[in-house]
């Protein structure tokens, strides 16, 4: 039985050009197409929907592009469609 080790940054690299769901530490979530990232996991997305959680519910905001600070990234879900999709 052979086990192949895949490093986290290699996995993220395989997602470039694909949709990704990103959960942040500040109760915001983003779904967009991954354009690139760096070793600090700062992430550049296009065709983005930002989901902000408010007392009134989830507020979606459309953005053309965004650069996310890797220090605030909690979770990456390749192929994820966000909190509103089942």
Q: pLDDT (tens digit, 9 = 90+) per residue, 8-48?
A: 889 899 999 999 999 999 889 999 999 999 999 999 999 99
In a domain, 4, yes or no: no
Query: Does any domain span residue 48?
Result: yes
* Number of folded domains that form the chain: 1
Is position 84 within any domain? no
Query: Rounded CA gap, 22 and 30, in Å?
Result: 5
Confidence of residue 85 (pLDDT cuts 50, 70, 90): low
- For the domain that residue 73 is a member of, what is the CATH number? 2.30.30.100
Domain that holds residue 24: 18-78
Q: Which two tokens stand for residue 35?
A: 């354009």
Q: Work out whether strand 73-78 and strand 57-68 pair parallel, antiparallel, or are unpaired.
A: unpaired
In a domain, 56, yes or no: yes
- The torsion defined by the Cα of 28, 15, 41 and 39, in degrees rounded to 10, comes to 180
Sign of CA dihedral 58, 64, 70, 76: positive
At 39 the three-state DSSP class reads: coil
């Amino acid at each position: 039985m052979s086990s192949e080790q895949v490093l986290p940054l290699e996995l993220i690299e395989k997602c470039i050009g694909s949709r990704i769901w990103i959960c942040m530490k500040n109760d915001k979530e983003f779904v967009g197409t991954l354009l690139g990232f760096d070793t600090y996991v700062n992430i550049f997305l296009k065709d983005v929907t930002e989901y902000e959680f408010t007392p009134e519910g989830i507020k979606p905001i459309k953005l053309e592009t965004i650069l996310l600070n890797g220090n605030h990234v909690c979770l990456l879900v390749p192929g994820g469609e966000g909190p509103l999709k089942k």
